Structure 1
Amino acid sequence: MARPVEQVKRASNQLHAADNKPGDISDAALVEMYRQMVLVRQFDRRCVALQRAGRIGTYPPCEGQEACQVGVANALRRQDFLFPTYRDSGAVMLHGVPMERLMLYWNGRPEGAVVPDDVNVFPMAVPIATQLPHAMGAAWAAKLRGVDQVALGFFGDGASSEGDFHVAMNFAGVFHVPAVFFCQNNQYAISVPLSRQTASETIAQKAEAYGFEGVRVDGCDVIAVYRAVQAAVEKAAQGGGPTLIEALTYRYGAHTTSDDPTKYRTAQETDAWREQDPIPRLQGQLRAWGLWDDEQENACLTEADALVSSAITAMEAAPPTPPEKLFEHIYKEPTAKLIRQRDELLVMLERRKQSEVEQSAAARGEGGKQ
């Protein structure tokens, strides 16, 4: 069986950039997808740097998976629902969540998890595969209500081993719901390689057991991803039922900023996947088609940097979160125990504040005597 990277190379070689400009995608859309991939990568790299500097918490990099993020976001309609994992900041942002809101999320702010009312994005799921039954449920609800809405759930190759994956697939197949299940097969579930995740030749073929279509695409090709998701969304919206899409991709960085990928994979493997980098790949195609040049590239990089910098500034200018926020949203109505704990915390904080004021005053007095 061919290695995934070899399968991706064969798929990419089928597209000769100068001769195969897509007739079904406008020039403006192709250029915009490239700009978006550059923006997602800039956002991602800056988040890694922010974490290293202690300005945000643990962060899961998505560098290498931009074609999946951008291809999906462009294929979804505004009314469609997106159910992300923790690694899908790019798709979440492109489907309508403000970038500064995402920055607040990774900064550990509760307001960062609040999605605007007019944006159909579910909060990011950190537990593995739990978002898939949610996506399936939203799709089923849309079908019961007769609403033209498709639900797309992201997941990784590791999630295909979770019970929630099988529950969602089975229910979606039985009830023929308008859902798309999009697997970003980046070859590793933290340190566990795909070969230890499943004995199936592909993840896409698992859909057959549940009675619906499975599709495998080159996840380093934004055009291929866009087409596959667009077709699946159209089919679901027209009553054709769910689709499982497996996109072969790779995360160039660590699983999260607390991980060391050199412990479980080689530099040679990473370098081989770097050859399929979705950003220079599309840039080369755009240049061959006469749609891109150095001036546009420089302007694109400058704009992306400015947008991310602005979001970082907004994040760091946000006022501190009140400590009592810890006790909100645990239950619809707070229990007596929670109320008591909240009140105890507030008393403790007030005493600490008073002590700091007294110590500061004492220090100033000592300084005056000197």
Structure 2
Amino acid sequence: MRRSSIALLLCVVLGALLAPAAHATPAYTEYLDLPALNGAGEYGGGLHPDLPSTQPPLLDALTQARADDIDPTRYATLLHQYWLVVATDNAAIDLEAWVPERGAAANSATFNQVYVNYFRLAATRSDLYWAGMAGIAGASFAAGFFDVGDVGDIVSVGGIHQLGNTVADLLRATPPELLTGVPADITALATLGPRLTAADLAWYQTRLITMQKHIFIDLVSMHEAYLAEGMAAIDEMYAAGVIGDRMRAAWRGIDGGTEAGRVDALTAMADREQNEIVADQWDVTANGRDGMGRVLTYVTTVAGKPAVPGTRAPGVYAPVTVWSPVAAGRPLGLRMPLPAFNWADRDTRWDYLAADLLPRHLELAADTARSATVYREPFAAKLDRGRLLTRLPAVLADLTTQWQVVSS
């Protein structure tokens, strides 16, 4: 009896040893083929609600997927999420709490930290030209609508009312024959600006926060991937379809260590930012709120002089001059210190960036000592200097002293 029991036990043990091993389901399986539902940054959290928002489980899943030779296109969103989480961790941003629809007050600390992080990247690597420009120019254009230190000091609705009323007064003093040629954006500022409400401004702030997050998701994730693993990480993002040919070429340009490569990368990244990432979102913003979206995007253009040294304000770069369609005699013109374009319009926005902002930023980046000083200046000082509330007296003074009727 004892011998048979031992034999039975040996059979059981031997059978267990010879049986096929049970394999655990790989960690990446549930993350394959996920769409980037939040790729445009409109909601809280990361790219897909099923993905973790911490690095260890994401990295474990990625490591297994790579080891099993899974096609990178199948784990593209997982890969992008990993580098997004790395980016937000390095920027000291809580990804789950970054919810644009909650508005300016709830996102003020994150809004601040996004720009602080751009300057951190630029100060860390002097060849990351886009990061430096994004920090300086991006903060300048948004500064008039946010005060991250004290939300109560956000530029007042009354400030825009005053701007609109000033333009309305100047239009009333303009010869009637010139009024028909005044751009629609200026007329809208005069007629709709005084009706702006706090709800309109809050809506616009949310739109800006959404675009800010969209840019971060796209371009900052690439930066962190490159800084961590070089071109190998960029090539994996390319293989997964997260980036295309032009972005891979841009990073190769930076990696090559030449000035020409750095310049090409800045241009390519700025073009991606303005003409791919946020172009449609600017269109939606400009068409929103029954005309108020257009007013607010134009106010951004009037007040948003980039702080990159040497860059001209939009109204100086492209001022409006309207000529009267007179049949005889000397033509009568109206010159006004207001921009002839709206920041929301992609073609004229890009013309301004390519002709004025990019060249000036390249001059700054070429002087590494000077650029380092600019990048390391406290962000609060940059923000305060660019706010419309701070600059409004100067803006109004320019309007009232440089609005001129001229003849040829």
Structure 1 length-normalised TM: 0.24
* Bigger fraction of residues in strand: 1
* Bigger fraction of residues in helix: 2
